[in-house]
Structure 1
Amino acid sequence: MLFNRNIKKRDILIIIFIILVGYIAIDNYTIVFNFIKRLIYVVSPFIYALVFAYVLNPIMKLLERKLKLRRGFAILSTYVLIIGIIIILLIFVVPNVIDSIISMTSEIPTYMETVQGWIDSAIKNEDLYNIVKSAGLLEYIDGLTKKGGTLLIEILQGSVSSIFLITANIIKVGFGFLVGIYVLLDKERLIKGVKTLMFIMLKEEKGQKLLFWTRTYNRMIGAYIGTKALDSLIIGSIALIGLIILKSPYAILLALVVGVTNMVPYFGPLVGELVGGIVGIFISPSMAIGTVLFLIVLQQFDAWYLDPKLVGNKVGVRPFFIIFGVMVGGGLFGVVGMLLGSPTMATLNIMYEHKVSILKVRNRNLMKRVEEEEDDEQENEVDKEE
């Protein structure tokens, strides 16, 4: 009895301590937020290291398995490959993308004059002019054109600023890239340490459950994001070839947009088509139509052939829930949230099916009644239609 009383007293003391710490943190929230911000800044290179190690681990494992390389040589080969790709991008792609953005920014005033000319020509039609004027849209359209030009300039300038911001943080990212080598070298020991800590904190049963769902989530990320990245690389390459054939003035930039946005389900391809059409319309109507038609055909090829071949049913979630996951993830965590939306919903779907299977075993009569009620409702709907 004395032991149990001691346990209760300890729990009460822990609760009081947590409440006290929480009150102090809330009362001094600016100091706490500044401390957290500073802490994240300090540990960010190590976070980058973990991310790099996570991304590069499949390549390293592939080299170990297929080429029978030792861990050190596999890591060296992986880093040589990635550094080579980065150098190629820095030499051939990045300068071209920056030049294209700067060129488009300088030409936006001309594009806006062209749009204004189209609007002026359109409203010369007396019937159309009267409709627009009576609806009170004349001043709105004129202001929209000016705002559209300003918005485009801000977006493009923001894109260039983002590139320079990444360059400014290159030391931190580079340090994380290098530390990733040690994470890969010692990954088994690190994983073992994390598992041990997990079992200490959660005990064996809960630790095993968390470990199972972590592995499931990791598998879903690899099944979707890893395979989808390959799919987007292929689509971006085909887009580049097609846009060069169509003589698009910003072929590399547009192909990059198509490839990157293709990573986002459902919404991504539409963004690529929209950007291609907007850029093409300022060159000529035929260029816009040709670009949009080509990107639509490419998107259909991806949706009906390439994506099922590569991704298939690995994610296994209904489109509604994929769209829901992408929107919620994007709203909360931006681009990273949009990318993780599908594997997150896939993992939740597996968890749901797992719980349902347990419920069916433990409550067979209940599930049987639920299924019978669904069948009765469907029969009633059919009878009403007849």
Structure 2
Amino acid sequence: MTKGKKILIIGTMFIVGSYFLFLGLVEARGFLAPLVMAIVLALLMIPFSNKLERSFLNRGFSSLASTLILFIISLGVFALLSFQIKNFVNDWDLIKEKMSPKIEQAESFIYDHTALTKEDFETYKEENDLTAMGGSSSAGQKAFGFMTAVLSFLSNYLLVFIYIFFLLNYRKKFKKFFLKLAPNEKQKETNAIIDNTATLVQQYLVGKSFLIILLTVLYSIGLGASGVDNFILISFIGAFLSLIPFIGNIIAFGLALVFGYLTTGEIGVLIGIIITFVVVQFIESYILEPYVVGDKVNLHPFLVILAIILGNMVWGILGMILAIPVLGILNIIFNHVPSLKPFGYLLSTDKEDDKS
């Protein structure tokens, strides 16, 4: 077989294998997404659980305590979001009233400066059923769809914490399982991979948690001073979206513009939003990110963007959030397995190569 045929066959097998891999990940989303999230959070809580075991609790109670702490924190976050969303819903009529003239101005600008007409927009609304909002069957379907989505979310949400408890409670067994899979001469290296993986996830998530808190405070100060309504909700969402590099900041800025400038129409609010995001992004990129998070995952920015896009295609927002920790774990495995080291080199940021 010639070299060209080998390359063609290997390339074809890689493309077909990748296709079925991602197709399988999409189909198994309901099972794998909560499990992967639970694994990442369980790795985060291992040091705390170990500390409880060394003090006064046994393995089962320490695992339960760690799981309950994560559960209470998540409830606190949901309570904060619910409170802010409730305020936003209460102010929706006023917001809609203030946004209507802006929307009409934008539509007029589009009609005057593009080939689109009002008839085109009306046709589009009819074709996409945007006007059918009051039918009983449509309302019933939407209510059923909403309830299904809520029940699905709650079941996955509770499953995550059930998984976390069992992962923490039987972590030694799982570790020994992976060690038994490795040959005797690779035991030390396999143990290093497991320890480095746990350390990476812990450092990354702890750093990101502190970063989210600091960014929420900074955004709240800037947006609140700028006169943005519901600035606490927007600030928290903007800070939380920092878990999604590059893309999250753009989404947060768009939310601030929509619920800040468009609801008031004041130039001062627009200037305040722009100044807030420019200043906060500078502080995050050059002060907070290096010192609070640091280069924990050592991943190339281009590969990070690709991982985030693939994560969104496979598991949506959850996939985007999990993309960096999962890619960081893969990078550790690649760099410890000789046959996979080229992939580790590709994923990593090599500053020496950047200088050459």
- TM-score bucket (shorter structure): 0.5 to 0.7
Could you say if the C-alpha distance between residues 174 and 328 of structure 1 is closer, same or farther in structure 2, counting changes exceeding 3 Å?
Answer: closer
Q: Which moved more, 1:219-228 or 1:279-288?
A: 219-228
Q: Secondary structure at the match of 2:227?
A: coil
In the alignment, does 2:112 pair up with 1:95?
Answer: no
Aligned residue for 1:12? Answer: none
Q: Determine the C-alpha separation between the residues in 1 that align with 2:189 and 2:119.
A: 58
Q: Determine the C-alpha separation between the residues in 1 that align with 2:36 and 2:324.
A: 23
Aligned residue for 1:269? Answer: 249
Q: Determine the C-alpha separation between the residues in 1 that align with 2:244 and 2:37.
A: 23
Aligned residue for 1:29? Answer: none
In the alignment, does 2:342 pair up with 1:341?
Answer: no
Aligned residue for 2:115? Answer: 136
In the alignment, does 2:172 pair up with 1:192?
Answer: no
Could you say if the C-alpha distance between residues 357 and 240 of structure 1 is closer, same or farther in structure 2, counting changes exceeding 3 Å?
Answer: same
In the alignment, does 2:286 pair up with 1:304?
Answer: yes
In the alignment, does 2:73 pair up with 1:85?
Answer: yes
Match for 2:73: what amino acid? I
String of CA shifts for 1:255-292, please: whole Å, max 9, x gaps: 22202211111221121112111221221232232123
Match for 2:102: what amino acid? T
Does the CA contact (< 8 Å) of 2:63 and 2:168 recur in 1? Answer: yes
Aligned pairs (5 A) from 1:220-299: 220-282=200-262, 283-285=264-266, 286-299=268-281
Aligned pairs (5 A) from 1:321-336: 321-336=303-318
- State the shift of 1:309 in Å: 0.2
Q: Determine the C-alpha separation between the residues in 2 that align with 1:110 and 1:343.
A: 42
Q: Determine the C-alpha separation between the residues in 1 that align with 2:286 and 2:233.
A: 25
Aligned residue for 1:383? Answer: none
Q: Determine the C-alpha separation between the residues in 2 that align with 1:356 and 1:189.
A: 28
Aligned residue for 1:61? Answer: 50
Could you say if the C-alpha distance between residues 166 and 69 of structure 1 is closer, same or farther in structure 2, counting changes exceeding 3 Å?
Answer: farther
Q: Determine the C-alpha separation between the residues in 2 that align with 1:353 and 1:48.
A: 24
Aligned residue for 1:177? Answer: 161
Q: Secondary structure at the match of 1:298?
A: helix
Q: Determine the C-alpha separation between the residues in 2 that align with 1:273 and 1:242.
A: 13
Aligned residue for 1:15? Answer: none
Q: Determine the C-alpha separation between the residues in 1 that align with 2:202 and 2:176.
A: 21
Does the CA contact (< 8 Å) of 1:224 and 1:342 recur in 2? Answer: no
- State the shift of 1:305 in Å: 0.2
Does the CA contact (< 8 Å) of 1:71 and 1:185 recur in 2? Answer: no
Aligned pairs (5 A) from 1:208-227: 213=193, 215-227=195-207
Q: Determine the C-alpha separation between the residues in 1 that align with 2:94 and 2:106.
A: 20
Could you say if the C-alpha distance between residues 81 and 216 of structure 1 is closer, same or farther in structure 2, counting changes exceeding 3 Å?
Answer: closer
- State the shift of 1:323 in Å: 2.0
Any stretches of 5+ residues in structure 1 without a counterpart?
1-32, 360-370, 379-386
Match for 1:57: what amino acid? I
Q: Secondary structure at the match of 2:250?
A: helix
TM-score (norm 1): 0.60
Aligned residue for 2:103? Answer: 115
Aligned residues: 302
Larger Rg: 1
> What is the root-mean-square deviation in Å for CA atoms of aligned residues?
4.7
Q: Determine the C-alpha separation between the residues in 2 that align with 1:99 and 1:296.
A: 27
Does the CA contact (< 8 Å) of 1:278 and 1:288 recur in 2? Answer: no
- State the shift of 1:340 in Å: 3.6
Does the CA contact (< 8 Å) of 1:231 and 1:306 recur in 2? Answer: yes
Q: Secondary structure at the match of 1:278?
A: helix
Does the CA contact (< 8 Å) of 2:34 and 2:157 recur in 1? Answer: yes
TM-score (norm 2): 0.64
Could you say if the C-alpha distance between residues 105 and 294 of structure 1 is closer, same or farther in structure 2, counting changes exceeding 3 Å?
Answer: same
Does the CA contact (< 8 Å) of 1:264 and 1:338 recur in 2? Answer: yes
Q: Determine the C-alpha separation between the residues in 1 that align with 2:326 and 2:194.
A: 11
Could you say if the C-alpha distance between residues 211 and 141 of structure 1 is closer, same or farther in structure 2, counting changes exceeding 3 Å?
Answer: farther
Aligned pairs (5 A) from 1:30-41: none
- State the shift of 1:299 in Å: 1.5
Match for 2:286: what amino acid? W
Q: Determine the C-alpha separation between the residues in 1 that align with 2:36 and 2:335.
A: 31
Match for 1:310: what amino acid? V
